[in-house]
Chain A
Amino acid sequence: NAGVTQTPKFQVLKTGQSMTLQCAQDMNHEYMSWYRQDPGMGLRLIHYSVGAGITDQGEVPNGYNVSRSTTEDFPLRLLSAAPSQTSVYFCASSYDRAGDQPQHFGDGTRLSIL
């Protein structure tokens, strides 16, 4: 049982490039989400999904796309990378959509945009 797996662990991009951050969970969790972590700002919700085929925006969705074709996978796409998107990105999952469910986080993707 690997939990939440994120790939890659590190990535450097040039401004304007696109890429996909991968997230997979093997716990059959209904709810998945993406956060970004920036110094002094905590974690901020980008997008979330309450099940396969259902996604919605969080607090800071601009510049990012998501899709959820299976229960297990929830990729995050950067359409045209900007230096402001330099951050550490965390994927999380929980058993269901209830707000008091423990969130299980992956170990993050550290992304630098030059």
Chain B
Amino acid sequence: QQQVKQSPQSLIVQKGGIPIINCAYENTAFDYFPWYQQFPGKGPALLIAIRPDVSEKKEGRFTISFNKSAKQFSLHIMDSQPGDSATYFCAASKAGGTSYGKLTFGQGTILTVHP
């Protein structure tokens, strides 16, 4: 059972474009939504995260938009660069101390930014 659904599977943009990756979740108990970035041959690394008490969070060129009523959140990459080419995973968890750090991941999106 995939509790976090991510789309698209792959995405190709030109340098300077604004790729958007979408995720939808089912479990209303989730209250922490991170995005992880993974380069080939490496493990995922935390990129940015949001709690449902805000609708948007920006860190540099990366923005998360969050829609609690629709149970959806998305990642926007402003002024995308070839160095942003990577696989992006959305995830969800319960932030509370008894959740044991269990992350439920989306399927991943392979982003390619052409020069």
Contacts and interface: CB of A to CB of B under 8 A. Distances in A.
The judgment on whether A and B are partners is yes
Interface of A: 4, 31, 33, 35, 40-45, 48, 50, 56, 58, 90, 92, 94, 96-103, 105-108
Contacts of A40: 9, 107-108
A105 B100 contact: no
B96 A105 contact: no
Interface residues of B, number: 30
B58 interface: no
A31 B100 contact: yes
B46 interface: yes
Interface string B91-108: 001111111111101111
Contacts, number: 80
B92 to A, nearest CB: 9
B103 A108 contact: no
Interface of B: 4, 6, 9, 32, 34, 36, 41-46, 49, 51, 89, 93-103, 105-108
Contact of A100 (B42, B49, B107): B49
A73 B96 CA distance: 25
Contacts of B41: 107-108
B43 A102 contact: no
B43 A99 contact: no
B107 A41 contact: yes
A108 B22 CA distance: 26
Contact of A101 (B9, B44, B101): B101
Contact of B45 (A94, A96, A105): A105
